[in-house]
Structure 1
Amino acid sequence: MWSHLDANMHMRHSAYADFAAQARLEILEEMGLDMKVFQKLHIGPILFREETTYLREIGANETITVTTELSKARKDGSRWSIRHEIFKKDGIKAAVIVVDGAWMDVLKRKLTALPDELAEHFMQIKRSADFEEIA
């Protein structure tokens, strides 16, 4: 999209993060963790870190694919890392985005854990080949 481009006529840096965020929302919805559930529980995902490695330019009107994998997590899913890879239509990897996050009680403004049933759903996100359980 035109709004995703920068002055060099390739996808602007922040658009990569936008596509990764959208992919996370979609995978969470697939796991039964949609915005209505978060609002009801007063819980939401937060990020501590977001790192992008740019490998190839993405130009105007290019089709991309974004993958989502759980690369690290506590056993209860309370802290986690998700890796996204963005591929061009020809299968060339254009970027890797890694985010470290957790869950926050939006009323108390403190870190929390998901209820057990929802944590089980969250932990069903496809795991990376190098998945690591963290303490």
Structure 2
Amino acid sequence: MKNIFFKGQVLWSMIDANRHLRHSAYSDLCTQARNNLMIHIGLSVNECAKYGIAPILFKEETIFHREIKMDEEISVAVEMTKHTISNNRFSITHFVYKSDGTKSATVNVDGAWFDLQTRKLTTLPENIVKLVNQIPKSENFVEE
């Protein structure tokens, strides 16, 4: 496994009535992994705010492969699958793994960069593009 940006234990609060990880918890875990990735490349929430930008999501898709139960240790890998040449839209895939390496879920998101002042989509400044280019790319990465 590579590009791991979150490792942790599944908490009781993340479990549903079927005694496995609830569907929305996958989203929460992947959001934390993306946040950790952004900190890793030097683009934390506070750093984004300095530039008046933030990432937003348009679509999130979860494909479930194997169930995860309470107290299991999991890890989340993150990689960019698409980024536009105009530096305003992106796609990211997350892989949620059980401690034995079994892939439990694949979570795909499509998003864009948002101007916090105008409340509209924006392109990234060149110095931010350099940071975003550090995000691990998938084998089938596409630049449009």
What band does the TM-score fall into relative to the shorter chain?
over 0.9
Computed over aligned residues only, the root mean square deviation of the Cα atoms, in angstroms, reads 0.9
Segments of 4+ in structure 1 off by > 2 A?
Answer: none
CA-CA distance at 1:35 after TM superposition:
1.5
> Mind listing any 5+ residue stretches in structure 1 that lack a counterpart?
none
Which segment is superposed worse, 91-100 or 114-123? 114-123
> Mind listing any 5+ residue stretches in structure 2 that lack a counterpart?
1-10
CA-CA distance at 1:87 after TM superposition:
0.5
Report the identity percentage: 45
User: Equivalent residues in 2 for 1:91-130 (5 A)?
Assistant: 91-130=101-140
Equivalent residue, structure 1, for 2:44? 34
- After superposition, the C-alpha distances for 1:43-71 in whole angstroms (9 at most, x for unaligned) are 11100100000011000000011000000
Q: Secondary structure at the match of 2:59?
A: strand
* Contact 1:65 1:88 (8 Å CA) reproduced: yes
**TM-score normalised by length of structure 2:** 0.90
Structure 1 pair 99/29, CA: closer, same or farther in 2 (3 Å)? same
| Among 66, 69, 89, the residue aligned to 1:79 | 89
Q: Does 1:21 align with 2:6?
A: no
What is the number of equivalent residue pairs in this alignment? Answer: 134
| Among 47, 64, 88, the residue aligned to 2:74 | 64
Mapped partners of 2:52, 2:127: distance in 1? 16
CA-CA distance at 1:78 after TM superposition:
1.7
Mapped partners of 2:45, 2:81: distance in 1? 23
CA-CA distance at 1:76 after TM superposition:
4.5
Q: Which amino acid aligns with 1:62?
A: E
Q: Secondary structure at the match of 2:117?
A: coil
CA-CA distance at 1:77 after TM superposition:
3.2
CA-CA distance at 1:36 after TM superposition:
1.5
| Among 54, 76, 101, the residue aligned to 2:64 | 54
CA-CA distance at 1:75 after TM superposition:
2.5
